[in-house]
Chains A and B, each alone.
Chain A
Amino acid sequence: VLVSVISSPQNYPLYIRSVPTENELKFHYTVHTSLDVVDEKISAMGKALVDQRELYLGLLYPTEDYKVYGYVTNSKVKFVMVVDSSNTALRDNEIRSMFRKLHNSYTDIMCNPFYNPGDRIHSRAFDNMVNSMMMQVC
């Protein structure tokens, strides 16, 4: 399982964390390639009205090993989550709630005046939240 937060204009990662620490490079690569899919979905949503539901992009694409889920915020910050396909217990709702928690924690970080957007995220609270979430999954 891997979670990553990617900032919008330059598409570089603000935060990447994966639980099984082997194969990390493969995860990174997956996230990077999935950005294309995310961008495609964003451009497809041409509607002017953006509501909460559309922030969740759903299953971006499944491969043989794992599934990739995407979520984009109103400020075009993308959250990408990669989970093992063997985790059949993970339902869509759970993924949604995980993204929601991520989004909440991200806004908490934004509240911190010492945080400059575009910096890597070092917040301990965010780390704890992500860790607990990933522990839940695995």
Chain B
Amino acid sequence: MEQGAAGGSSAAAAASAAAAGTGGLLLPLSETEQQRYSELFSRCCPPPEAAAGGSSVGELFRASQLPPDTLHQITEVCGAKRVGYFGPAQFYIALKLIAAAQSGFPVRIESIKNELPLPRFMALKNDTEVRFGTPADLHGVKFQVPHATLEKNSYKRTDEGDKQEPKSPPMSPICSPPASPSTYQRIPLSYGYGKARSGLEQQHGAPYEVRHSTHQQDGPSSGNYGAKSSLTCSTPKRSLSVEREQQDSSTHYSDDPWRITEEQRDYYINQFRSLQPDLNAFISGSVAKNFFTKSKLPIPELSHIWELSDVDCDGALTLPEFCAAFHLVVARKNGYQLPETLPETLLPEYLQAASLKPMRDCALLDSYSEPLPGSQQTRDFSRTEKSSAEEIPDNSALLQDGKKDDKQGAKISTTLKTIPKEFQHLTVKTAAQESNALKARPRSRSYSSTSIEDAMKKGEEPPTPPPRPQKSHSRASSLDLNKIFQQNTQAVRSGWLPPPPPALPPRPSVSQTEQPSEVDLHPQMNRPPSQTEENSSAKKEVVLAQPPSKPARRKLRTEAQGLETPELSPTINVTSSQPAAKAHLPVQKQSSRQKRAIQTAIRKNKEANAVLTRLNSELQQQLKEVHKERIALETQLEQLRPVTVL
């Protein structure tokens, strides 16, 4: 630490120089900042020179990952351009400006008068020993902020894919909490391991723990403070796995902080998997909420992050949406301000195109049909009454997929299971199995347990109320449709807006047409995927679903539900009978599709008719009233006339 000592001694001198050098502007530098800046300065310019070399300074600035024009601005503002070199004063001012820019403030002298977090530089080769501290540190400081920072550091290191430890700046504030600013971003919080909070969190922390580390034995009991050992085990485990991951990658953070690196993406995908084994499925709103609440960001921020990342506003997160949300959380915790709109690199289509290309074909069916159960569940858990209605239209689409049947059946069946047991079961299963059928069942039970738990909490039941055309549901489903076929959620959102204004009547019918069209599309998309057992069961459902048509929509669903429960077990048996079944199914499918199309058209027209007749009757009513008024006025006029015409 002689560097530190030397830094300390020169810090005082440098600080005063900084004060003097800025022409009267007294820059308050906290102790940590002084230390840090002097270290950086001494690295950039080996003493006893008074000025930092331009090249090393330039390198350092580039490592701060600000855009080049910002760096130019900074150099101008700090006066280096004026004096021609980076003296200590200029250097310190520049560092402060970098910190300001990284926190989102404009590059001005005024902005650095406030207290700021230390500037972050990537690819710095210093402070190795400070980095995580030792494993002893990890164990020693559990629920405290320092531990949390270490946690965050290891985490962030993964994110940046950087072998070095650029995170010493966040480290040092921890060492001197009083000196550090009390702004929110300065209070790093342990991600997912801070059980010191509410009981609710710990309850959900438990499943998170269990899921995350399969070798945890005390998952269920990891509520409250009794889980210290598990926490510490999981923390180093996580950091170790994180280290392993990061050593694999060599890509750095690109200049754009909103770009997700490969390593980050892998990490997010793993996290996604821990919440939802099927990568093409959705994470429901409540599950995501619990997960992100563990990051200890305040609720308004999380709310904003959700708004940004849930592009199709269906209350559930797909994998790209989840990656975007996670990335935003990470960025926020590292001090970046949240943007007002989602950056381009975090858009779901961008992320999806970048990462999920190979999975896309298989994903088509699942992700498409998944939104319905996903949205369905979130609507159940969210407190709108529309939730229950969604289930009905969703159910018909759910028929298509055997997996969904499992889920649905488990959901409907109100078997109560304890949460920890469920998630343990889930982890065991996910660790053990390969086939989709097996995978579906634990997932379905996890859904059921979540749904039961949430339903119990909110006092709702997973019911089947009368079908109601809900525009939010139809929007979600139509969006999902478009998402699959056009991979263009942007267009979808804009595309959806025009239809509502012109015609209210079409909307209920649109929702109805969408459901049958979803049903149509399912058989089509059932073909490509390799999950043939679902195909056959789906085809059977389709055929069975055909005869009970519109008026019996409710009956259809109850029938379907009845079918689903027996489907639960024979899903595997279906595979054996599948080849024979598949042969004659296509033919039936064609005619059924046509029939269905006609039926939907009929339904649509009937709805339009009904609404128009209603409109007509009301207008007639108004016309009658106006007539009456006119007659009344005319009689009045007549009464007055003999008076005037004498």
Q: Which residue of B lies closest to A128 (CB)?
A: B340
Q: Does B358 contact A (CB under 8 A)?
A: no
B383 x A117 contact (CB < 8 A): yes
A10 to B256 Cα, complex, angstroms:
47
Stretch at the interface among B300-308, B544-552, B637-645: B300-308
Interface residues of A in 84-138 (CB under 8 A from B): 97, 100, 104, 107-108, 110-117, 122-125
Stretch at the interface among B112-120, B273-281, B284-292: B284-292
Known contacts A122-B300, A122-B303, A124-B307; decide if A113 and B383 are in contact (CB<8 Å).
no
B313 x A108 contact (CB < 8 A): yes
A100 x B500 contact (CB < 8 A): yes
Q: Which residue of B lies closest to A110 (CB)?
A: B384
A97 x B501 contact (CB < 8 A): yes
B340 x A124 contact (CB < 8 A): yes
B310 x A111 contact (CB < 8 A): yes
Q: Does A63 contact B (CB under 8 A)?
A: no
Q: Which of A52, A100, A117, A122 has the most CB of B within 10 A?
A: A52
- The smallest C-beta distance from B496 to any residue of chain A, in angstroms, reads 9
Residues of B within 8 A of A53 (CB): 504, 615
Q: Does A51 contact B (CB under 8 A)?
A: yes
A111 x B314 contact (CB < 8 A): yes
Which of B315, B472, B611 has a CB less than 8 Å from the CB of A51? Answer: B611
A113 x B288 contact (CB < 8 A): yes
A114 x B504 contact (CB < 8 A): no
A38 to B310 Cα, complex, angstroms:
34
B310 x A112 contact (CB < 8 A): yes
Which of B303, B306, B384 has a CB less than 8 Å from the CB of A75? Answer: B384
A111 x B313 contact (CB < 8 A): yes
Q: Does A21 contact B (CB under 8 A)?
A: no
B507 x A111 contact (CB < 8 A): no
Residues of B within 8 A of A74 (CB): 385-386
Residues of A within 8 A of B504 (CB): 51-53
- The smallest C-beta distance from A126 to any residue of chain B, in angstroms, reads 9
B472 x A113 contact (CB < 8 A): no
Known contacts A74-B385, A97-B501, A124-B307; decide if A114 and B302 are in contact (CB<8 Å).
yes
Which of B288, B307, B472 has a CB less than 8 Å from the CB of A123? Answer: B307
A114 to B507 Cα, complex, angstroms:
28
B382 x A111 contact (CB < 8 A): yes
Q: Which residue of B lies closest to A74 (CB)?
A: B385
Q: How many A-B residue pairs have CB under 8 A?
A: 74
B313 x A114 contact (CB < 8 A): no
Q: Which residue of A lies closest to B379 (CB)?
A: A111
Q: Does B130 contact A (CB under 8 A)?
A: no
A113 x B289 contact (CB < 8 A): yes
**What's the dominant secondary structure at chain B's contact region?**
helix
Residues of A within 8 A of B310 (CB): 111-112
B303 x A114 contact (CB < 8 A): yes
- The smallest C-beta distance from B326 to any residue of chain A, in angstroms, reads 15
Known contacts A97-B501, A122-B303, A123-B307; decide if A113 and B286 are in contact (CB<8 Å).
yes
Q: Which of A100, A108, A115, A125 has the most CB of B within 10 A?
A: A115
B289 x A114 contact (CB < 8 A): yes
A107 x B384 contact (CB < 8 A): yes
Q: Does B92 contact A (CB under 8 A)?
A: no
- The smallest C-beta distance from A124 to any residue of chain B, in angstroms, reads 6
Known contacts A51-B611, A111-B314, A111-B378; decide if A125 and B307 are in contact (CB<8 Å).
yes
Q: Does B381 contact A (CB under 8 A)?
A: yes
Query: Interface digits, A17-34 against B, CB 8 Å rule (1 contact, 0 not)?
Result: 000000000000000000
Q: Does B299 contact A (CB under 8 A)?
A: yes
A52 x B507 contact (CB < 8 A): yes
Interface residues of B in 335-385 (CB under 8 A from A): 340, 378, 381-385
Residues of A within 8 A of B300 (CB): 122
A104 to B493 Cα, complex, angstroms:
12
A112 x B286 contact (CB < 8 A): no
- The smallest C-beta distance from B301 to any residue of chain A, in angstroms, reads 9
Q: Which residue of B lies closest to A122 (CB)?
A: B300
Known contacts A52-B504, A100-B500, A107-B472; decide if A114 and B382 are in contact (CB<8 Å).
no
Interface residues of A in 11-61 (CB under 8 A from B): 51-53
- The smallest C-beta distance from B372 to any residue of chain A, in angstroms, reads 15
A117 to B310 Cα, complex, angstroms:
18
Q: Which residue of A lies closest to B302 (CB)?
A: A114
Residues of A within 8 A of B288 (CB): 113
Residues of A within 8 A of B611 (CB): 51
B304 x A113 contact (CB < 8 A): no
B303 x A112 contact (CB < 8 A): yes
A112 x B381 contact (CB < 8 A): no
- The smallest C-beta distance from A55 to any residue of chain B, in angstroms, reads 10
- The smallest C-beta distance from A105 to any residue of chain B, in angstroms, reads 10
Residues of A within 8 A of B385 (CB): 74-75
Residues of A within 8 A of B386 (CB): 74-75, 107
Residues of A within 8 A of B292 (CB): 114
Residues of B within 8 A of A123 (CB): 303-304, 307
A114 x B501 contact (CB < 8 A): no
Residues of A within 8 A of B615 (CB): 53
Residues of A within 8 A of B340 (CB): 124
Residues of A within 8 A of B508 (CB): 51-52
A97 to B497 Cα, complex, angstroms:
11
- The smallest C-beta distance from B536 to any residue of chain A, in angstroms, reads 35
- The smallest C-beta distance from B401 to any residue of chain A, in angstroms, reads 23
A107 to B504 Cα, complex, angstroms:
17
A113 x B313 contact (CB < 8 A): no
A88 to B314 Cα, complex, angstroms:
38
Residues of B within 8 A of A97 (CB): 501
Interface residues in chain B, defined as those with a beta carbon under 8 Å from any beta carbon in chain A: 285-286, 288-289, 292-293, 299-300, 302-304, 306-307, 310, 313-315, 340, 378, 381-386, 471-472, 500-501, 504, 507-508, 611, 614-615
Closest CB pairs A-B (n = 8): A113-B285, A113-B289, A111-B315, A114-B303, A107-B472, A52-B504, A108-B313, A117-B383
With A51-B611, A112-B307, A113-B382 given, can you name 16 additional A-B contacts, CB distance below 8 Å? A52-B508, A97-B501, A100-B501, A107-B471, A107-B472, A110-B382, A110-B383, A110-B472, A113-B285, A113-B306, A113-B315, A113-B381, A114-B303, A114-B306, A117-B384, A124-B340
30 contacts between A and B (CB under 8 A): A51-B504, A51-B614, A52-B504, A52-B508, A53-B615, A75-B386, A104-B471, A107-B313, A108-B307, A108-B313, A110-B382, A110-B384, A110-B472, A111-B285, A111-B315, A111-B382, A112-B285, A112-B303, A112-B307, A113-B286, A113-B306, A113-B378, A113-B382, A114-B289, A114-B293, A114-B302, A116-B383, A117-B383, A123-B303, A125-B307
